[in-house]
Amino acid sequence: MRNRRNIPLKRKPKVAVVVDGETEAWYLTMLNRNEPNAKFQIKPEIPQRKSLHDQFNKVLSLSDDFDTVVWIVDMDVILKETREVKKGQLRPLDEFLKYKDKLSSITNVSVIINQPCIEFWLLLHFEFTQAPFDDCARAESRLRNHLSDYAKSQKYFTKEGDDIYLKLIERLPTAITYSKRFGGFDLENPDRGNSGMYKLFEILGLS
């Protein structure tokens, strides 16, 4: 009889996703819950400290332990702080671009930008737009044109049988298609709406 202990166990690839807020973590947790047959194991990671430097270091440390690490970055705060930075200080946007460039050489790391925030990705399930959004509140307001009861709360995002992923799953192919239409984050027009979330679904084999 073959020794079963000598047969390597097949495991799902482990994907760590670094985010800076609970909203993204709730969305990813619901993605996990509603895709039980997917060939991946996804783990949302929120650094204890949420500065760009701390997020960058978190991505680096996870890249040694996970098959794939995805850093999802909301640009609203970065752009706001960039507009407010004092002359002579490092602009948060330049700091982020520096980290993004450093990570480009690590083969199992991907950086995904949402401008202004994940609500813009949710909006793409209903419409395509490249309108400027100078903060997340504007994206939330526009999203409520389609999801009138939308609430940035754990209860809304994770309600059993009616969570955020289930609400939108039939429209997911539309959102992925719209997301692919963007040519990446536009440095010349940084406020322009943008989402690279299609990359996450390609990594997970869901697009």
Does 2 reside within a domain? Answer: no
Total residues belonging to the chain: 207
Chain center to CA of 62: 16
Does 47 reside within a domain? Answer: yes
Q: What is the pLDDT of residue 8?
A: 47
Does 3 reside within a domain? Answer: no
Chain segment 3-53, per-residue pLDDT in tens? 434 444 467 889 999 999 999 999 999 999 998 877 788 899 998 878 999
* 16: exposed, middle or buried (Cβ count in 10 Å: 0-12, 13-18, 19+): buried
Neighbouring C-beta atoms of residue 171, cutoff 10 Å:
15
Evaluate if residue 139 carries a pLDDT over 50: yes
Q: What is the pLDDT of residue 1?
A: 35
Does 1 reside within a domain? Answer: no
Does 183 reside within a domain? Answer: yes
- For 151, the domain range is 10-203
Chain segment 166-200, per-residue pLDDT in tens? 999 999 999 999 999 998 899 999 999 999 999 99
Q: What is the pLDDT of residue 10?
A: 65
Q: What is the pLDDT of residue 88?
A: 84
CA-only gyration radius of the chain, Å: 18
Question: In this structure, what CATH number is given to the domain that contains residue 168?
Answer: 3.40.50
Provide DSSP, 145-174.
TT-TT--SSHHHHH-TTS-HHHHHGGGHHH
Number of domains in the chain: 1
Does 61 reside within a domain? Answer: yes
Does 161 reside within a domain? Answer: yes
Counting residues of the chain whose pLDDT is more than 70, the rounded percentage is 95
Q: What is the DSSP letter of 72?
A: E
| Average of per-residue pLDDT values in the chain | 92
Distance CA 113, CA 111 (A): 7
Q: What is the DSSP letter of 36?
A: T
Q: What is the pLDDT of residue 39?
A: 77
Evaluate if residue 115 carries a pLDDT over 80: yes
pTM: 0.91
Evaluate if residue 159 carries a pLDDT over 90: yes
